[in-house]
Amino acid sequence: MTDEKMLMKKPHNVILEDRKNLTITGVQDIDSFDEQMVVAFTDQGELTVRGYNLHVGKIDVESGELYVQGEIESLAYADPQPQRGGGLFGKLFR
């Protein structure tokens, strides 16, 4: 990640309405999406949305907004992995 992106942190909010309409702000990037899963990167970590008949209504990475519609079952965060040493010892002790 570049220094510019790290300095420009956007507010991160998750709004779920009736388990059918999801609005996420503070999105940095979208990893993947299909009808059963959406994976987005935020300042708070990787956010995975699971459900059925998921449709991405709007992706605006410039403003950091993501809108998802469908039957939403779960929202789960994964913390970013810490950077490990890239040298010989870093590779040996993974």
- Look at residue 59 in the predicted model and tell me its pLDDT: 87
Count Cβ atoms below 10 Å from residue 10 Cβ, excluding itself: 14
CA–CA separation, 80 and 57 (whole Å): 26
* Amino acid symbol at 75: L
pTM: 0.75
pLDDT tier at 85, thresholds 50, 70, 90:
low
Instruction: Work out the percent of the chain whose per-residue pLDDT is above 70.
Output: 76
pLDDT, tens digit, for every residue of 28-65?
989 999 999 999 998 889 999 999 999 998 888 788 99
Q: How far apart, in Å, are the Cα atoms of 32 and each of 3, 16, 29, 90?
A: 24, 20, 9, 29
pLDDT tier at 7, thresholds 50, 70, 90:
low
Q: Reading across the β-sheet that carries 65-78, which strands appear in turn?
A: 13-17, 21-25, 65-78, 45-60, 37-42, 27-33
